[in-house]
Structure 1
Amino acid sequence: MIKHIVAWNFIEGLSNADKHVNAEKIKQELEGLKLLIPGIISMKVVTEPLKTGDFDFILISEFESEEALASYQTHKEHQRISQFGRSILCNRKCIDFQMESE
């Protein structure tokens, strides 16, 4: 299983109301990809992380394989959501790793 964690900050100049509305929109769309793209095990978006962290918006997802992750990354619906995300999010950081079987 592959773990894919991505974190962003909102661009400067967005109001708190705009941040909230846009975060909820992207959250629903990203979490909905589980029903559209084969190989996604789970997709969870955190829109209100603790203030002790460095990021505003976090995606935590799991994939069956590296191939499934690659398919997700190039899927047209993911690309559409990403394009919108780039208009309101910045400072992207990504961590991908293989989970060991327990």
Structure 2
Amino acid sequence: MIRHTVFFKFKVGISEIEKQEFFKACNQLSLIPGIQNFEVVKEKSPKNDFEFGLLMVFDNSTVYENYNTHPDHVLFVQNYWLKKVEDFIEIDFEPVVE
């Protein structure tokens, strides 16, 4: 299992309407096959500068790679992410097996 997390902040000047459009587009990502437990979250801690996050789970690396290269994801990155996101951190992790 892979847990894919991305925390981000918007570019200065992005309006509330643009943010709503962005989140609507985010929610469409949840329709890509293989995504589980999709969430859009808001940061509550003052310990970092990120405002929001996207969380999702994939069964394995193959499913995760299919998501990364899926045309809907690629279009989201081009049409929304690159235009509206100022900074982000992406962390992908899997459980530690003992």
Residues paired across the two proteins, number: 95
TM-score (norm 1): 0.78
Alpha-carbon distance, 1:77 to partner: 0.7
Q: CA RMSD in A?
A: 1.9
Mapped to 2, the partners of 1:44 and 1:73 lie a distance apart of 17
1:89 corresponds in structure 2 to: 85
- Cα pair distance change 1:54/1:65, threshold 3 Å: same
2:17 aligned with 1:25: no
For residues 12-32 of structure 1, give each alpha carbon's deviation from its aligned partner in whole angstroms, at most 9, with x where no partner exists: 2x15xx1x3233222222222
Q: TM-score, normalised by structure 2?
A: 0.81
How many percent identity over aligned positions?
27
Moved more, 62-71 or 51-60: 51-60
For 1:68, the aligned partner's letter is: V
- Confirm or deny: 8 A CA contact 2:50 2:88 kept in the other structure: no
Structure 2 stretches lacking a partner, 5+ long: none
- CA shift at 1:67, angstroms? 1.0
Task: Report how far residue 11 of structure 1 moved.
Answer: 1.3
**What is the DSSP-based 3-state SS (H/G/I as helix, E as strand, rest coil) of the residue aligned with 2:66?**
helix
Matched letter for residue 43 of structure 2: P
> Secondary structure at the residue paired with 1:99?
coil
Distance 1:25 1:99 in 2: 33
